[in-house]
A and B are shown apart, each in its own frame.
Chain A
Amino acid sequence: GAVVSQHPSRVICKSGTSVKIECRSLDFQATTMFWYRQFPKKSLMLMATSNEGSKATYEQGVEKDKFLINHASLTLSTLTVTSAHPEDSSFYICSAISGGLYEQYFGPGTRLTVT
């Protein structure tokens, strides 16, 4: 099946710094990638939809200047959490689809802890 990787798997950063999370589709070209955030015992919350070569579409309530998304190629999307605060601590998951595929393939997630 399709494989999606994320890097890093865990990151701890200090408040006020920025953190970049990478999402890669390893064996297929992803026309669209999604970024989710999961709070403890909560649903996956869709943050933004990212299409290669165009600006990401953010969900209502998600700050686009705080969560910068770049989908530079058909196999790579990045999420940068800028000026991170402790309330940004969460589990961030990306997913990817290819044209014609309706199942999203998820990465393993990144645990962000802001101290």
Chain B
Amino acid sequence: QVQLVESGGGVVQPGGSLRLSCAASGFTFSSYGMHWVRQAPGKGLEWVAFIRYDGSDKYYADSVKGRFTISRDNSKNTLYLQMNSLRAEDTAVYYCAKERSSTMDYWGQGTLVTVSS
């Protein structure tokens, strides 16, 4: 069965950096695009970034463009999100999700990122 397991969350100071990972199993990872989606405490869902199956295209929400970088290692079945210049408003649960026809059909359990001094 499809499994997505995020890791790497934690507490970081404003201006700091963090790298999230998402380990995928149960499907052919190298054949699917992948997303990061976040949810601030008590708020709705916000799409963050997308990467094509082969890493050839990457798209970002305006709120993170220039600060976050999505990448993948298909040999390790792992998705990454490098987050730099973190702000308080980046505090959220970050989910990775598998892409299917412009939707997100499988999601991980999420990892909490807290930006606070």
Q: Do A and B bind each other?
A: no
